[in-house]
Amino acid sequence: MVVGIQSADIFKKDIYNKWVQLSNDIQKLKGIKQVLSSGRIFQLEKDTVGQKFVLKAIPAGLVKTDSEMDSIKSTLYNTPFFEGLVYNKQNATLMAITFDTKILNTAERNPILKEIEAKAKAFEKNTKIQVHISGLPYIRTAVSKLVSNEFVLFLGLSILVSALILLIFFRKFSAVFFPILVVIMGVIWSIGTLVLFGFELTILTGLIPPLIVIIGIPNSILLLNKYQNELRKGLSKELALSLTIERIAVTTLIANITAAIGFGVLYFTGSELLMQFGSVASINVMITWLMCLCLIPIIFSYLPAPKLKAQTHVEEGFLHKILVKTDKLVQQKSGVIYIATILISIIAFIGVM
């Protein structure tokens, strides 16, 4: 990980001392292995008594005089090894930070990075010099935070939109709450599958839970819609549920198998991320289908049958009128639809070419 600044004032005593102090403060953090910067550099010196080379810090502490500052600057500029490593001729200097390998790939690095960032921001505030932070640990933490935030956002939005769709169709609390509850169970299974396979939550795998919600809700809508249609025929609740399972199971099975195969094909791409996404998504599409098929009828078997009066909005509402007009258009204007489809396909093909 690196912390960098660019300023012609870096070798002014006060600013340099703050840079030295920042280097020392970061070095003291638990989990930091070593810090190298223009405020914390080392020279090899001979130990004639022990007959070995030893590392000596330059400076040994904070700079107290301007002459001492000039001496350190001269040492840096007269040592080619440090040029391009901790400073360059464009007045840029960096601080290289190495982490203990035991915590580098664990969540323990996150609080350390927060402390480093806080100390760097404090330096920036005190000196009015902009600080830049980069490096693999920092980027990985930033990406993981982004994935975590987007995971919660997309999952929440998918559940909200699905709940609104259910509410528009059925306008009953039980028809909204219980399908959402079943789908959330499918989301929990999808996260559990990721952990079971040892996969991490990435930008791609983070899309699986919202995807499960979007795919699972249509299963519930088909089941509930068929159930209510059977009730309108005057059938008992038990017989209506039985016929619903019998007639909808195959339809939803084919639809979900098609979706699962589509995701499963990604396993053969050779890309590790796509393989993880495809395998987990395909498995959990089928798990969610099975949960909807089993749990929705069980739950509604314990609930009172919905009143037929509550379903008039489906037969006489805006959506029903759109479907009726669409049906008439398909039946009576099929030639126009064919011509329009061909023209759009030709335009799309030209656009691709």
- Is the separation of the CB atoms in 112 and 103 below 8 Å? yes
- Please report the pLDDT score of residue 156 as a whole number: 92
The most confident of the ranges 25-34, 38-47, 302-311 is 25-34
β strands within the chain, DSSP E: 2-6, 32-37, 41-47, 52-58, 92-99, 132-134
- Please report the pLDDT score of residue 211 as a whole number: 92
What is this structure's pTM?
0.69
pLDDT tier for residue 66 given thresholds of 50, 70 and 90? confident
- Please report the pLDDT score of residue 104 as a whole number: 80
- Please report the pLDDT score of residue 314 as a whole number: 56
* Closest by CA position to 283, among listed 204, 194, 199, 210: 194
